[in-house]
Amino acid sequence: MNSETIRARYGPWALVAGSSEGLGAAFAHAAAARGLHVALVARRSDALDRVAKEIRDEYGVETRQLVADLSEEAAPGQIAAAVADLEIGMFISNAASEPQGPFLDLPLAEHLFAIDVNCRAPLALAHHLGQPMVARKRGSIVIVTSLGGLCGLPVFSSYGATKAFGWNLGECLWDEMAPHGVDALSFVVGSTRTPNLERSGAPEAHLETAVAPQIVAANLFEVLDQGPTQYSLPEVEEAARGLFAMPRKEAVGFFSQQNHAAFPSRAD
């Protein structure tokens, strides 16, 4: 999709939740490169300011930084109020919390935090920001999800479950909003070399196979109107098809083996 079409269908502002680094920052750059102004949301204001400055300097668009913790129940409403004077034509839900370790070894609070960030916040933001899009009869909502949402994801149990929630939600939004001119999409991301992945303790061999966030972001902007589900790379789609075709026992076993090997948990 060319930049002119993107601005006409999804401009003038994009809001990217979780855009202080990594994939979220890459989505923000990709939106700005296509001429959209960008509202950036995350907890670390210094990191947000850095990304915002890069975007303004490089593309000459406007930015607005919103410091918010998406685990807080009030955050989505406060964010919506803080951008009520802007026409948000695109919402990308990227922020995620990823508790890592055996389910019972992690404090309950970590699992519940992930549900708030990965489920409550995207749902509430899509509700707040989707209403004006439907009224204007144009816009785009992207829920970033993961191959790990396809079946049980040992070592990342609550994270995987929240990614299944997001995947499902994005597909419903695609169906319900299409008649109102709004394109929604679940965007299934495979291994991507972000600071977050680097901090996870994954071995270098795993990191080396992870793709650059800029490639994933560019691919998203090619498929915004091709919901209900799209994948970050053709290889990710191929892997998803393989997993869908497996008996559930085998699919969960595949992730179990891979994750216990690649992500030594606190208890291993």
Ligand X SMILES: NC(=O)c1ccc[n+]([C@@H]2O[C@H](COP(=O)([O-])OP(=O)(O)OC[C@H]3O[C@@H](n4cnc5c(N)ncnc54)[C@H](OP(=O)(O)O)[C@@H]3O)[C@@H](O)[C@H]2O)c1
Q: Which residues would be at the binding site for ligand X (CB under 6 A)?
A: 18-24, 42-44, 47, 68-71, 94-97, 117, 144, 146, 163, 189, 191-192, 194-197, 210
Q: Among all residues, whose Cβ is closest to ligand X?
A: 22
Q: How far is the CB of 114 from ligand X (least distance, A)?
A: 9
Q: How far is the CB of 151 from ligand X (least distance, A)?
A: 14
Spatial distance between the Cα atoms of 64 and 42, rounded to a whole number of angstroms: 12
For 13-59, the DSSP string reads EEEEES-SSHHHHHHHHHHHHTT-EEEEEES-HHHHHHHHHHHHHHH
Helix (H) or strand (E) holding 10: helix 3-10
C-beta of 39 vs 42, nearer to ligand X: 42
Q: Which of 43, 48, 32 is nearest to 70 (CA)?
A: 43
C-beta of 94 vs 186, nearer to ligand X: 94
Task: Reply yes or no on whether 231 is catalytic.
Answer: no
Residue type, 17: A
Residue 231 DSSP one-character state: E
C-beta of 120 vs 138, nearer to ligand X: 120
Helix segments in 60-178, DSSP class H: 75-82, 108-115, 121-136, 157-177
Spatial distance between the Cα atoms of 70 and 117, rounded to a whole number of angstroms: 5
C-beta of 178 vs 207, nearer to ligand X: 207
- Partnered with residue 187 across adjacent β-strands are 144, 230
Residue 137, classified by CB atoms within 10 Å of its CB into exposed (0-12), middle (13-18) or buried (19+), is exposed
C-beta of 47 vs 134, nearer to ligand X: 47
Structure tokens at 172: 């419903």
Q: How far is the CB of 16 from ligand X (least distance, A)?
A: 9
Residue the block writes with tokens 């002119």: 4
Q: How far is the CB of 164 from ligand X (least distance, A)?
A: 11
Q: Which of 88, 84, 94 is nearest to 36 (CA)?
A: 88
Q: How far is the CB of 180 from ligand X (least distance, A)?
A: 25
C-beta of 19 vs 100, nearer to ligand X: 19
Q: How far is the CB of 255 from ligand X (least distance, A)?
A: 12
- Which residues are known to be catalytic? 159
